[in-house]
Structure formats: structure tokens, C-alpha cells
Structure 1
Amino acid sequence: MTEKYSPTKVKLHWHGVAFDTGLPMHEVSEAWLMSPDIIGKYVGDDELAFYEVERLEKKNNVFHLYEDNHPRFFMVGTSKLGEDLSKIDFPELANMSFMDFIRIGFSLEREDSR
């Protein structure tokens, strides 16, 4: 039996450049350390993003994502299902199999098409 992982709420600092002004930007958001190697966070109301921890910099128990390093990520989202995606519980998601995650996507789409 696989031991369940206890996700931890963390801060994710994004460092980049504003696309309209070209000036440096720094954004802080809440995220979840979902496993020792994956961080997940909401991106607006309609997307979830997952980042590899090894591609982020860790300082004082805070993770930093530098836009110029282009860390690998995986994003799930659609504006059509946005309201439902914001209800996904990251701690619960951390212990799901990939197939369970896919099933959630299909069930959300069925609910939305009614």
C-alpha cells in the first residue's frame, strides 16, 4: 500500500517582466507542495498549473519561479469549466491517481453540458 502524502501550503514567488511595460514584476501566490517534487497552484479561476520543484529555487522555505529559467510545467484548464476547476481541492488531488484526475475532468464536462 502506498503511503499518502500530506500536501503543504507554500508561497510561490514569480519573478518576470510585465508584458505591457517591460518592467520587472514580482507576484506572490499561494500554492501546494503536492509531493516532494510537484507544486500545484490555481492560475486565475479557470486553470491549474503544476511545476517541478527541481526547476524552482527555494529560499527560506519559499519557492521562486524565475520566468527567464522557463521551468517545465503542466497546465489544465478551460474557461468553460472555470468555476468548477476552482473547487478542486489540491490536498485531495495530491493522493489521486492520474486516471482519477482524468475522470474528474470528464465529470466536470458532463455537468457543464447539461
Structure 2
Amino acid sequence: MRGKFQPQAVKLHYHGIAFNTKQEVHEISDAWLISADIIGMYSDDGLVFYETNRLEKKSDGYHLYENNYPRFFMVDTSKVDADLRKIDVSELANISFTDFVRIGFKLGRENYGEI
């Protein structure tokens, strides 16, 4: 019997070009490896999840190169009317999508009340 995946704190290094200045950008963020092939993290706009198969794994973390067009899935804070920073990303490793949706509804009600 296989045990549940144990999430791991990782660093995600973003390598890209700034939109306005065209200068190279290298940003390092805290993230969670929530399954063998998915990394989750907070961004300014919500929660973002990346598939690791298009990221480069190095000794200092995972490296995301903008020009490699990594696939991602994003839950936009403004779309769910919730403060997604209240979600413990590491806990997402062991919950179902349905549970995730329930969390979003619960956070939305906390912020804006029931309709």
C-alpha cells in the first residue's frame, strides 16, 4: 500500500523578461511540491500551479524559464472573491478537487457573507 505524498517546500526560480523595460528578470519564490509533478505557489493574483515536466530541477530548486512556455493552472483571487492566502498550499496534496472548491466557497462567504 502506498502512503500519501508528502509535500515538500521548494524554491521556484522565475527567469524571464520584464514587460516594460525588456530587462532580464530572476525572481525566487517559496513554493510547494504538492505531487511528484505539480508545484503550487501564491502569486500576486491568486494560486498558481505548474507542471514540473517543463521546469528545470537544480540543487537550489525548480527553474521556470518564460521562453519554455511552462503549462500552468491559476485560481484568480478576484474570480472567487476569496483571500486564497488563507489556504495552506501544502495541504492541497491530499485533498480532492471537490474539497478545493468547497474551500473557495467557504473563503468567499467569510469575506463577503452569504447571498
Cα distance between partner residues in 2 of 1:61 and 1:53: 15
Deviations 1:76-95 (A, max 9, x none): 122342xx311111121111
Deviations 1:16-68 (A, max 9, x none): 00111001110001100001010000102x40000001110111251000001
Q: Which runs of 4+ in 1 moved over 4 A?
A: none
Structure 1 residue ranges without an equivalent (≥5):
none
Deviations 1:66-111 (A, max 9, x none): 0011100000122342xx3111111211110111001111111222
Structure 2 residue ranges without an equivalent (≥5):
none
Q: Count residues with an aligned counterpart.
A: 111
Cα distance between partner residues in 2 of 1:32 and 1:21: 30
Cα distance between partner residues in 1 of 2:31 and 2:64: 12
Cα distance between partner residues in 2 of 1:106 and 1:86: 14
How high is the sequence identity, in percent, across the aligned residues?
A: 60
Residue in 2 aligned with 1:70? 69
Cα distance between partner residues in 2 of 1:77 and 1:57: 25
Q: Tell me how large the CA RMSD over aligned residues is.
A: 1.5
Matched, 1:100 2:99: yes
Q: TM-score, normalization: structure 1?
A: 0.89
Cα distance between partner residues in 2 of 1:53 and 1:8: 13
Q: Tell me the CA shift for residue 2 of structure 1.
A: 6.2
Q: TM-score, normalization: structure 2?
A: 0.89
Residue in 2 aligned with 1:33? 33
